[in-house]
């Protein structure tokens, strides 16, 4: 599927932050130490995490959601889940959409009210998401493929936030 192809910076390399720069740096994992050794033993997991991050946040085929909007949504999800340092990393890429990274902003003025309401609910009340939540997006013209893209973004952030918390626990016993 094209939505999973990674965007590049013109040199063939993936553009933007890699999982090592995002996940590991946010967790405070350095080049040495027991946590770094544990990460090295599972390097394939972090390579796959990097690919997933690129595919979800910086795909070649963005659909309705450009990279900077995806970054704002990622920052918003991180904030809602108490991952402020991760939110700061993503907010730095939000550009003109930076205001949407703030969960206090409902996005109605920009035409993103239903999208933000959906993203917030998926981020913090996942088990309460029901068919009418999807219908609300469809009712305002969001295509099914773009709803899937939003859900993928939320799912990746849920994973990344938990990985960061787990790595921090390995380092100092505090998420």
CATH code at 16-172: 1.20.1290
Domain limits, the chain: 16-172
What string of pLDDT tens digits covers the 175 residues of the chain? 333 333 333 333 333 444 456 766 666 666 767 666 766 767 787 788 888 999 999 999 999 999 999 999 999 999 999 999 999 999 999 999 999 999 999 999 999 999 999 999 999 999 999 999 999 999 999 999 999 999 999 999 999 999 888 888 877 766 5
pLDDT the model gives residue 18? 47
Half-sphere exposure of 76 (CA within 13 A, CB side): 31
Is pTM beyond 0.85? Reply is no
């Amino acid at each position: 599927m094209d939505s999973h192809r990674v965007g590049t910076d013109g040199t063939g390399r993936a553009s933007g932050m890699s999982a090592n720069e995002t996940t590991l740096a946010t967790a405070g994992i350095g080049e040495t130490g027991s946590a770094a050794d544990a990460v090295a033993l599972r390097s394939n997991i972090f390579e796959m995490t990097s690919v997933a991050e690129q595919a979800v946040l910086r795909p070649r085929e963005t659909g309705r959601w450009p990279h900077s909007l995806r970054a704002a949504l990622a920052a918003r999800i991180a904030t809602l889940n108490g991952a402020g340092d991760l939110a700061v990393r993503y907010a730095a890429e939000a550009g003109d959409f930076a205001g949407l990274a703030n969960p206090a902003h409902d996005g109605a003025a920009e035409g993103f009210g239903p999208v933000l309401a959906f993203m917030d609910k998926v981020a913090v009340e996942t088990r309460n998401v029901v068919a009418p939540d999807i219908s609300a997006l469809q009712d305002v013209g969001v295509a099914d493929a773009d709803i899937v893209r939003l859900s993928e973004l939320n799912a990746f952030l849920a994973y990344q936030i938990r990985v960061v918390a787990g790595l921090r626990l390995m380092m100092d016993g505090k998420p």
